[in-house]
């Protein structure tokens, strides 16, 4: 069993640090290019505790996408946990949306944002350093 | 028999308990796989032990993604406990089991909450095949498991996850240390690790630790320890790392084959460069162990 553990443990101890972290962006395009997003965290910069994210969704021609189904999945990759309560997304009309959840602790968080609209389903991963 | 018992107690019995126990500040804000560690490791002529420990933890700051110490918006305190037992079945083999508990108060801004419960149990088989009095020192091998008996973040009902007391899924644990007593100065150097089983995203851990002590008379021992740990979690085919460095000190008083009491303190050293993407905490622990 020790021998089976060694490769993993040596990897942790000795491997070069590969920076897997993403940069924060305020304008994003989903991975397949179906949607453009304008993003504004509230508060900004984000802090531990209640969090909000204003989201404006448009198509590739920058026409507002109304009635999209948007879900968010917060994840703290260094610590291996997410948010204990799923984010709630409100459709404000005109392509504007507002998401609310709680950051349980400070640190680096990634938010997987899924958009399902008339163009289809697409996603993007956002990153925030929560203070 | 009397001299054997004295040797037992003054050497591996105490040193093992100190050197093999995690540093007191190990209990991370979200990495609660371990809390107050009760030293139930047994000396060569001891057969069993039962113990109880309590402690307190306070959040100090955090290391950010660049390894810089920074203040943050989180206020956190916790009370920890553990019940533990050990049994030695022969001169070179023993097993310990520990069940921690934790109550956490966490606040940020206008949001405050508390929660807690039983944490993740640990079972460890300890093999020390060579007598500690050997000139080159005694290797001590540990193999064990962390069992998901606590409440993980997936089961949490609290927005700040103050009710989280354990990690998702089980893990195998292991370690190898070299212990030696030079006159009245015991010391230990070792490495240890923890590897989650069957769960994606839970960090694996590797740590290096050293401790040195001093026997004071026949009943007292003081020690100081230093531990550096690194974790890595693989998520979506990417590797994410964290690190922390902890210093600790303990005072133990005991009577051989009767009892031990201890008090200790530990702190994640709040120095830039000694950690990465981790909370820095201070902790104090104490407790009692009955030994036969």
Is-contact B86 B40, C-beta < 8 A? yes
**Where do the domains of chain B lie?**
2-291
Determine which of B127, B277, B278 to mutate to test the interface with A (most A C-beta atoms within 10 Å): B277
ipTM of the complex as predicted: 0.86
Q: What chain A residue is nearest to B151 in terms of C-alpha separation?
A: A84
Q: What is the residue-level pLDDT of chain B in tens, covering all 292 positions? A: 333 344 454 444 444 444 444 443 344 434 443 444 677 788 878 899 999 999 999 999 999 989 999 998 899 999 999 999 999 999 899 999 999 999 999 999 899 999 999 999 999 999 988 776 656 778 899 999 999 999 999 999 999 999 999 999 999 999 999 888 888 888 889 999 999 998 889 999 999 999 999 989 888 999 999 999 999 998 888 889 999 999 999 999 988 789 999 999 999 999 999 999 999 999 999 999 999 9
Pick the CATH number of B2-291 from 2.40.160.40, 3.90.1150.10, 3.40.47.10, 1.10.260.40: 2.40.160.40
Contact between chains at B231 and A78 (C-beta distance less than 8 A): yes
pTM (global) more than 0.95: no
- DSSP assignments along B50-119, one per residue: EEEEEEEEEEEEEE-TTS-EE--S-EEEEEEEEEEEEEEEETTEEEEEEEEEEEEEEEETTEEEEEEEE-
Say which of B29, B159, B238 has its CB closest to residue A85.
Answer: B159
């Amino acid at each position: 069993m020790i021998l089976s553990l060694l490769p993993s443990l040596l990897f942790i101890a000795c491997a070069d640090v590969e920076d897997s972290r993403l940069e924060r962006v305020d304008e994003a395009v989903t991975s397949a290019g179906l949607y453009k997003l304008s993003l504004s965290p509230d508060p900004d910069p984000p802090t531990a505790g209640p969090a909000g994210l204003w989201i404006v969704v448009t198509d590739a021609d920058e026409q507002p996408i109304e009635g999209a189904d948007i879900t968010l999945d917060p994840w703290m990759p260094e610590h291996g946990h997410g948010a204990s309560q799923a984010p709630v997304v409100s459709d404000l009309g005109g392509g504007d949306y507002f998401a609310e959840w709680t950051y349980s602790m400070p640190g680096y968080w990634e938010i997987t944002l899924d958009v399902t609209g008339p163009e289809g389903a697409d996603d993007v991963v956002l990153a925030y350093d929560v203070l | 028999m009397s001299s054997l018992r004295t040797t037992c107690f003054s050497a591996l019995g105490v040193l093992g308990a100190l050197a093999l126990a995690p540093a007191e500040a190990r209990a991370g804000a979200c990495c609660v796989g371990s809390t107050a560690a009760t030293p139930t490791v047994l000396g060569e002529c001891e057969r069993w032990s039962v113990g109880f420990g309590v402690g307190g933890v306070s959040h100090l700051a955090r290391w950010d993604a660049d390894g810089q110490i920074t203040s943050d918006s989180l206020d956190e305190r916790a009370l920890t406990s553990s019940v533990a037992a050990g049994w030695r079945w022969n001169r070179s083999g023993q097993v310990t089991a520990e069940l921690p508990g934790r109550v956490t108060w966490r606040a940020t801004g206008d949001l405050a909450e508390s929660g807690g419960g039983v944490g993740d149990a640990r079972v460890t088989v300890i093999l020390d095949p060579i007598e500690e009095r050997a000139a080159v020192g005694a290797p001590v091998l540990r193999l064990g498991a962390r069992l998901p008996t606590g409440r993980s973040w997936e089961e949490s009902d609290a927005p700040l996850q103050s009710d989280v007391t354990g990690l998702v899924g089980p893990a195998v644990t292991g370690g190898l240390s070299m212990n030696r007593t030079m006159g009245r100065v015991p010391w230990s150097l070792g490495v240890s690790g923890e590897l989650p089983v069957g769960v994606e995203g839970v960090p694996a851990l590797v740590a290096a630790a050293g401790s040195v002590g001093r026997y004071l008379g026949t009943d007292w021992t003081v020690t100081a320890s230093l531990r550096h740990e690194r974790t890595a979690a693989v998520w979506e085919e990417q590797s994410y790392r964290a690190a922390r460095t902890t210093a600790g000190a303990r005072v133990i008083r005991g009577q051989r084959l009767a009892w031990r009491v201890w008090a200790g303190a530990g702190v994640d050293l709040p120095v830039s460069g000694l950690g990465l993407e981790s909370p820095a905490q201070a902790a104090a622990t104490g407790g009692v162990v009955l030994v036969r």
